[in-house]
Structure 1
Amino acid sequence: MLNEEKSTEAVSFDTEMSVEKAKDAKKTLKRLIKLLFNQKQKIIIVLFFAVVSLVFTMTAPLIFSKAINVIYEGIKNVSLSGVFNIKFDVIKELSLLLIAIYLLSSLSNFIQQHVMAAVAQTLVLNIRKDISEKLSRIPLKYYDTHKKGEILSKISNDLEKVSDTLQSGMMQFITAVLTIIGSVILMFSINWILTLIAFLTIILGVAATSIIGKKSIKYFTNRQESLGRFNGQIEEYFTGQMIIKTFNMEEEATKTVETSNSKLYSDEKKAQFITFAINPLIRLMNQIGYVLVAALGAIFVIQGRLSIGLIQAFFQYVDQASEPLTEAAYILNSLQAAIASLERVFEILDEEEETPDAANYKTISNPKGNISFEDVKFGYGKELILTGIDLEVKAGQKVAIVGPTGAGKTTLINLLMRFYELNGGKIKIDGIDITKLKRGHLRSLFGMVLQDSWLFDGSIKDNISYSREASTTSEAHQAAKLASADYFIRTLPHGYDTVINDENSSISQGQKQLLCIARAILANPCILILDEATSSVDTRTELEIQNAMDNLMRGRTSFIIAHRLSTIKNADKILVMDKGNIVEQGSHDELLAKNGLYSDIYNSQFARSITAKAL
């Protein structure tokens, strides 16, 4: 993709995300539920085993109460000889029943956790697939206006938080809610007065959790935004270390990172404080209720209104209701954080996509390379950069595009490749409007070498063959020879099997560019685009590449963006651009004779060359 030249007025880079921006948590939650219901069969299984586990959990205290009553009655009815009349056979039966209940409850918990983990991972997998597909459909301007670090943070950090919360938190939350409901119902069946006392403290805890939970989402949103901003700066400074050190900007970079780190620390501290502040508050309310229930329960036992076994079961239900409430508070806040993260992920999925390909798209079966621009207008914003370009390029012509920085040279190529949509006019290839072609088919007509080389982590052969996967090893070798890369490749320890990546320091920038040129040669396109393709190589290598390019471009339509005018003297047509318009066009000699902008640029470069040689 070409994104070198955009006017500073046309594109504004968002260095900060507005934390005051309204967030719609309800809408995000609805979308999450809708996505979860795509796996409704698994969700039903999870809920079924959650209920089964709850039934076993709720039954256990009642069986305990029976066992305690049996023991109490045996002790109370002690014989005159001092022998306790405890029915140990009943105790044995109840103990075995309890063991069976706990085993079945654990098995149910295992099944529901296992299935819920599958649900969570499947959901995140599908979202990642959607994002992967979405990123290929988002216009180039999205990448121009968003930092890579922030995009990566949304895809990695935010999605991981969603995954962790769904996998461990959501099931616990459902179980906690069911446990609280079941415990309260059974507590009412034992004694309604004690239940009202306990229920009052539970309600107060729920109210406190709800109030704090509503306020907490802002802190979690701020934290995730600060994390994305911090990651963006770290990625930016890592990749620009050489420039930072060259201009002695280490101290300024450190201060900037420290500021972002302090903001992240502050937001993280607030979010964590909210999370952990709920627990002591709820526990305090629970303990107050526990004391009141214990005091009144003791009175009821003395009065004979309740048995010791039932009061013990009641206390267990109080515990079962209060502990899940504490868990629910933690998980609710975790869900708030996950919703904030998921909202950031949905921002990517909701981005405006490229204009869809035409329904009845056309193809060019035998492309020749005739290209025409008809009154082409374009702007990154409301203000137009290109105000009416008209251009005819015949098949096989070599067209050079020159002009000062910001003149619109790369923008012209971006439009030709349909990386951006026109504001007006048409671009045609072999008489067919490019909007009538599928983007994939359109771009298959081009071979491209950019000023900044890009290589992926893999062997040299794989990098060269990237443009045509079906190519053979001999074809890759031949392409490398034409690009003058074969010699240095064979001097490497493993030759064409040498593994490299875009940051590999053992390969020079010029050698990387040679590999990119070989990749373009192997593609064998009908149209070539060379954006300062030889700017990173030395003069001798440049001459070798220029000879190879001359052979390659023969019979193909070629566009060459160049600042060094000495490399384009033999172009069939030279376009001189300034402020978004083609102000001059013609051959090298014709343009020099006009004594216009091209002549000024050429003479200034020639003068600098003479001065350099004299020095």
Structure 2
Amino acid sequence: MKIKRVMKLLKPYRFRFFLMLLFAVISVVATLLTPILIGEGVDQLVGPGAVKFARLRQIMIVIAVVVLISALAQWLMSLTINYITYNVVRNMRSQAFAHLQKLPLGYVDDHPAGDIISRLTTDIDQFSDGMLMGFTQFFTGILTIIGTILFMLSIHPQITLVVLVLTPLSFFVAGFIARRTYSLFKQQAEARGEMTGMVQEMVGNQGLVKVFNREVELEERFGEINERLNTTSVRATFFSSLVNPSTRFINGLVSTGVCIYGAFVCLSGGITIGALASFMNYAYQYTKPFNEISGVITELQNALACGGRVFDFLETEIITEGPELKKMDAVRGAVAFKEVAFSYDKAKPFIEHMNINTKPGERVALVGPTGCGKSTLINLLMRFYEIDSGAITVDETDIRTYTRGSLREHFGMVLQETWLKRGTVAENIAYGKPSATLAEIQEAAKSAHAHNFIMRLEKGYDTVISENGGNLSAGQKQLLCIARVFLVRPPMLILDEATSSIDTRTELMVQDALKLLMTGRSSFVVAHRLSTIKEADKILVMRDGKIIESGKHEELLAKNGFYAQLYASQFAQS
């Protein structure tokens, strides 16, 4: 299966691939012609009579031409395989990254980020180095073995049998060790991915690590992973390194057998000294590829292990969108959940028989304890996860009939967890509308009350912020995320603790701006601070994946139920 995937990757470069094979054949043939010419030259130097200088000069010229042709063919072969290799690696990375964009969020949530990064970087590098770069050695080695056998048979079949009888030992040894190295290289790749994941996780959260004094525990955990990687790497390298000396030992036996038997044949007049010299040269060239191939096999085992991880990633099922799906046009914003069921673990039901009806332009608040399902409803509405049964509709149309892109274009989201890319402040605000003018960006920033702090930055809107806004405060990052929504002004809004990191004074101003933005737009507001959703048109109170209460703020307080308890717990001191 993996070889089929490799051949599929090579398909766009099949012409260059066959050209590379042609250069390999030319190089091998030219290399194998040299010993027969050398043997003929030796025969011109020994035996009765004078040395035949004229013929010797001709042979030396032919040898020089053949060697030049062999060198040129090898150079062209290397150029071709390098071109193929780097383009295949580029295509694999592009394909893997494009696949990542189509994967459901569930996959990203279930796999460490570092492991995914390792598959897209290190594993692809290991695959290209071992599989494609080693392929030329493997192919030329096989050609050399076949060619040398033919040339040796043409010189003396009986001596050739000595070589062939001992040959299977090399295959047996190489195959025996190779079968045991694959699993070790696979474990090595997995441990390397786990280490990358941990390092990536820790680098991004060093502040939290130091606050809770977890340095020692993390060092121990890293040490355990590092030791496991060390153990598997040493074992894989040890077993793979046995191949070369083992095959060299067997090849030494082959050369010894040829020397002894060939000497007796030569003394009996069966072959000339020059022919024996040629045969010895061929015997050496015959055994040399076994050493190279043994090394290539080791690289191929590592490449297949790493390539298998990449192919497993590429074969991860994605939810494709058929041509029958339509784009969402202008909407009124009536959202409904109809008998919706969903669970992250199918063995543990979470949301069942969920029914929600909202009117166009209605402001709906979702409240409840942590883990009750508020964010899950948002993820289902945005189709980050697919429902198990039931239907979610916008204006009475099932959202599964729309393309995901067009559905999400009609929602503006501000999450509690901010995200900024490396780039200028203006580029980050215009992330959802790259064509926006500077005036539009500034207007959005003013609406989000971010303009003042932006102008205090070194270069204002042209200030370059680091990855994930590392040189900004949490509140400033959240204001920029809010400004994004003000710039796009979508027909529907989702606010998940949108002002949680902003100071109280700024929060009041942003809340006023958000109220203005939500006017006439269907809005879903996830809130823990109940004071921020008093004016909501409808409050849905959730617990354990179920809506247990529904109504306006005053109505829910009058019921003296779960919402009233939550509200009282937040304002008990008042």
| TM class, shorter-length | over 0.9
Q: Please say which of residues 159-168 and 401-410 is displaced more in the overlay.
A: 159-168
The amino acid across from 1:210 in the alignment is G
- 1:368 is aligned to 2:342: no
Can you give the 5+ residue segments of structure 2 that lack an aligned partner in the other structure? none
The secondary structure found in structure 2 opposite 1:400 is strand
2:138–2:293 Cα contact (<8 Å) kept? yes
Counterpart selection for 1:342 from 307, 317, 330: 307
Verify the 8 A CA contact 2:366 2:542 in the aligned structure 1. Answer: yes
Q: Which residue of 2 aligns with 1:222?
A: 187
Structure 1 unmatched ranges of 5 or more? 1-26, 78-84, 611-615
Aligned to 1:605: 570
**Contact 1:398–1:573 (Cα < 8 Å) also in 2:** yes
What residue in structure 2 maps to residue 252 of structure 1?
217
Q: 2:529 aligns with which of 543, 564, 579?
A: 564
2:112 and 2:197 in contact (8 A); partners too = yes
Q: State the match for 1:24 in structure 2.
A: none
**In structure 1, what residue type is equivalent to 2:62?**
L
Give the stretch that moved more between structures: 596-605 or 240-249: 240-249
Counterpart amino acid of 1:369?
G
Deviation of the 1:565 alpha carbon? 0.8
Partner of 2:426: 461
User: CA deviation digits over 1:462-495, x for unaligned, max 9?
Assistant: 0000011121111011000001100000111111
User: Which runs of structure 2 are paired with 1:494-513 in the superposition (5 Å)?
Assistant: 494-513=459-478
Alignment correspondent of 1:32: 6
- Superposed displacement of residue 38, structure 1: 4.1
Q: Give the SS at the match of 2:331.
A: coil
Which residue pairs with 2:39 in the alignment?
65
What's the secondary structure of 1:391's corresponding residue?
A: strand
Give 1:6's aligned residue: none
Deviation track 1:474-520 (CA, whole Å, cap 9, x = no partner) reads: 10110000011000001111110001133444311110010010011
Match of 2:116 among 151, 162, 166: 151
Q: Does 1:380 align with 2:354?
A: no
Question: Does the residue aligned with 1:66 lie in a helix, a strand or coil?
Answer: helix
Q: Tell me by how many angstroms 1:156 deviates.
A: 0.8
| Aligned twin of 1:212 | 177
Q: Is the 8 A contact 1:449 1:530 kept in 2?
A: yes
RMSD (CA atoms): 1.4
* Contact preservation (8 Å) 1:120, 1:166: no
Does the 8 Å CA contact 1:357/1:435 hold for their aligned counterparts? Answer: no
CA shift, 1:49, in A, is: 1.5
Q: Where in structure 2 are the equivalents of 1:462-541 lying within 5 Å? A: 462-541=427-506
- Is the CA contact 1:357–1:437 (under 8 Å) kept in the aligned structure 2? no
Q: Which of 520, 544, 547 pairs up with 1:579?
A: 544
1:294 to 259, 263, 269: 259
Match of 2:23 among 49, 56, 61: 49
Give the alignment partner of residue 111 of structure 1, picking from 63, 71, 76: 76
Alpha-carbon distance, 1:249 to partner: 1.5
Describe the SS at the equivalent of 1:71.
Answer: coil
In the aligned structure 1, how far is the partner of 2:444 from the partner of 2:233? 53
Asked if residue 175 in structure 1 is aligned to residue 149 in structure 2, the reply is: no
The 8 Å contact of residues 367 and 527 in structure 2, kept in 1 or not, is answered as yes
Give distance in 1, aligned partners of 2:176 and 2:76. Answer: 34
Alpha-carbon contact 2:419-2:468 (below 8 Å) kept: no
Change in 2 beyond 3 A, CA 1:214/1:258: same
SS of the residue aligned with 1:72?
A: coil
Q: Aligned partner of 2:164: which letter?
A: F
* AA at the equivalent of 1:155: L
Q: Partner amino acid for 1:372?
A: A
Q: CA deviation at 1:257?
A: 0.6
Query: Counterpart amino acid of 1:71?
Result: L
Deviations 1:519-575 (A, max 9, x none): 111111001111111111111121121111111111111111110111111111111
Shift of 1:234: 1.5
Secondary structure of the 2:242 match is helix
Deviation track 1:209-242 (CA, whole Å, cap 9, x = no partner) reads 1111122111111111111111112212222222
CA distance in 1, matches of 2:487, 2:28: 65
Partner of 2:364: 399
Residue 125 of structure 1 is matched in structure 2 by 90
CA contact (8 A) 2:333 2:361 kept: yes
1:446 to 401, 411, 418: 411
Displacement of 1:102 in angstroms is: 0.8
Q: Deviations over 1:557-595 (max 9, x none)?
A: 111111011111111111111111111111111111111
Q: Equivalent residue for 1:419?
A: 384
Partner of 1:7: none
Task: Measure the CA separation in 1 of the matches of 2:357 and 2:301.
Answer: 58
Contact 1:417 1:443 in 2 (8 A): yes
Task: Find the aligned partners of 2:109 and 2:471 in 1 and give their Cα distance.
Answer: 30
* 2:43 and 2:274 in contact (8 A); partners too: yes
Return the offset for 1:325: 0.7
2:95 pairs with 1:100: no
Q: How many residues align?
A: 573
Q: Return the alpha-carbon distance in structure 2 between the equivalents of residues 299 and 337 of structure 1.
A: 45
1:19 aligns with none
After TM superposition, the structure 1 = structure 2 runs for residues 304-323 of structure 1, keeping only pairs within 5 Å, are 304-323=269-288
TM-score scaled by structure 2?
Answer: 0.97
The letter of the residue matching 1:62 is: I
Residue pair 2:421, 2:469 contacting (<8 A) in 1 also: no
Percent identical across equivalent pairs?
39
Change (3 A) 1:483 1:571: same
| Alpha-carbon distance change, 306 to 364 in structure 1, aligned in 2, over 3 angstroms | closer
The separation in 1 between residues aligned to 2:536 and 2:322, in whole angstroms, is 35
CA distance in 2, matches of 1:411, 1:358: 25
Which deviations, in whole Å up to 9, do the C-alpha atoms of 1:116-171 show, x marking residues without a partner? 22222232222222222221221111011111111111111111011112342001
1:312-367 Cα shifts (integer Å, max 9, x gaps):
1111111111111100011012111111111111111111212x335432344322
- Offset of residue 459 of structure 1: 0.4
Secondary structure at the residue paired with 1:582?
Answer: strand
Note closer, same or farther for the CA distance 1:319–1:547 as it changes in structure 2 (3 Å cut). same
* Alignment partners' CA distance in 2, 1:523 and 1:124: 37
Residue 208 of structure 2 is matched in structure 1 by: 243
Question: 2-side partners of 1:207 and 1:292: how far apart?
Answer: 19
Q: Deviations over 1:9-47 (max 9, x none)?
A: xxxxxxxxxxxxxxxxxx212322343344322222111
Confirm or deny: 8 A CA contact 2:131 2:299 kept in the other structure: no
CA distance in 1, matches of 2:286, 2:78: 21
What amino acid sits opposite 2:177 in the alignment? I
Per-residue deviation, residues 62-97 of structure 1 (Å, max 9, x unmatched): 111111111113xx42xxxxxxx2222222211111
Which is further off, 551-560 or 88-97?
88-97
Aligned equivalents of 2:288, 2:361: Cα separation in 1 = 78
Partner of 1:325: 290
Distance 2:5 2:380 in 1: 36
